[in-house]
């Protein structure tokens, strides 16, 4: 169930998908093919002509994983009880340390909510209408804290964490979908059961959020799974259908169902990270979410040792083994 190998699979999966997708972040698929002479096949420095990725070197992860670990730091500080002020403190400390405002590193919803908090304003008018994927990009380690029989506790934790910047129905449902998929994958459920559990978590989470008009993550994921089943064995066809029909932009209703669908299709950390990097759209965020799910299912043991080594070398500010030990102490 909650073994150290699987927890490390989640953490390294998140980091690998994030870092592999970083160079192509927010580019259309045509630009990716032109820039990288067909496709990305390994970790790369962020290109100078990508305004966001140019801040990163190969193997470095972005705001997705840094925020996920800042949230873990805030939870650990308060004995795993989510406290909004403590969580915001840790995210703010990271954001200020990397010049997130000046370097355009924060996503739009998180940036607006955190700016309101910095200015002493109530962020709720922003968070209740937040429709972008910051809610899901940083939540996968929370799925590693729980077993499937603890669904209600899992979703409640997701809500308490997510609401600091995202409190809309689609935000809470989408974040719960990602966390739920991780929980079920860590429990080594088969892939169809992983999707069923992710949908259950999604439905519970949806009730916590403020109503919006956004397309529903449940329906989009069901469509994505149908595509995965129909396109089985045809990677390029599947990838293009996800890009065209589900969407790979920064909206929760696109990127989160896309990520879970890709995890279901790939079922492997390496294949998943590379598919996401070449997908087009919000490649690093989709990669972080999808590859974390594959890592949860298959564990660190399934990940190439040279990939692990590169992530550790390029991100010395964090020790994933320490985080894994602390996650396993959670009860």
Tabulate helix, strand, coil % of the chain (nearest 5): 65, 0, 30
Cβ neighbours of residue 190 closer than 8 Å, sequence gap 6 or more: none
Query: Would you tell me the crossing angle of helices 63-77 and 4-21 to the nearest 10 degrees?
Result: 140
- For residue 196, give Cα distances in angstroms to 51, 119, 179: 38, 42, 13
Residue 128 assigned to a binding site: no
d(CA 223, CA 242): 9
Among 229, 225, 25, residue whose Cα is nearest residue 35: 25
Residue 284 assigned to a binding site: yes
Q: Three-state SS for 27?
A: strand
Residue 63 assigned to a binding site: yes
Residue 5 assigned to a binding site: no
d(CA 213, CA 29): 28
**How many beta carbons lie within 10 A of that of residue 168, not counting itself?**
27
d(CA 100, CA 92): 9
Among 115, 199, 113, 200, residue whose Cα is nearest residue 163: 113
187-191 contacts: CB < 8 A, separation 24 or more? Answer: 187/1, 187/147, 187/148, 188/1, 188/297, 189/148, 191/264, 191/267, 191/297
Encoded tokens for 122: 């109530």
Binding residues: 62-64, 282, 284-285
Binding residues for Mg(2+): 62-64, 282, 284-285
């Amino acid at each position: 169930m909650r073994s150290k190998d699987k927890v490390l699979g989640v953490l390294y999966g998140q980091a690998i998908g994030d870092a592999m997708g970083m160079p192509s972040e927010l580019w259309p698929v045509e630009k990716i093919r032109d820039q990288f002479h067909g496709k990305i096949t390994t970790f790369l420095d962020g290109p100078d002509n990508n305004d966001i990725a140019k801040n990163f070197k190969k193997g470095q992860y972005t705001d997705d994983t840094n925020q996920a670990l800042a949230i873990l730091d805030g939870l650990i500080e308060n004995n795993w009880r989510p406290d909004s002020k403590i969580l915001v403190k840790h995210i703010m400390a990271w954001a200020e340390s990397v010049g997130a405002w000046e370097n355009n590193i924060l996503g739009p919803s998180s940036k607006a909510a955190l700016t309101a908090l910095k200015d002493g304003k109530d962020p709720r008018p922003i968070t209740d209408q937040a429709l972008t994927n910051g809610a899901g990009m940083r939540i996968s380690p929370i799925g590693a804290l729980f077993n499937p029989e603890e669904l209600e506790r899992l979703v409640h934790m997701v809500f308490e964490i997510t609401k600091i910047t995202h409190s809309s129905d689609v935000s809470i449902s989408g974040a719960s979908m990602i966390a739920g998929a991780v929980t079920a994958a860590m429990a080594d459920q088969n892939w169809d059961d992983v999707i069923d559990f992710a949908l259950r978590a999604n439905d519970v989470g949806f009730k916590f959020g403020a109503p919006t008009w956004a397309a529903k993550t449940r329906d989009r994921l069901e469509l994505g799974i149908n595509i995965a089943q129909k396109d089985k064995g045809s990677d390029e066809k599947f990838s293009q259908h996800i890009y065209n029909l589900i969407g790979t932009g920064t909206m929760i209703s696109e990127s989160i169902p896309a990520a879970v669908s890709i995890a279901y299709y790939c079922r492997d950390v390496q294949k998943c990270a590379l598919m996401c990097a070449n997908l087009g759209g919000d490649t690093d965020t989709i990669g972080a979410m999808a590859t974390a799910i594959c890592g949860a299912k298959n564990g660190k043991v399934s990940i190439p040792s040279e990939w692990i080594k590169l992530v550790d070398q390029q991100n010395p500010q964090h020790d994933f083994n320490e985080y894994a030990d602390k996650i396993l102490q959670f009860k």
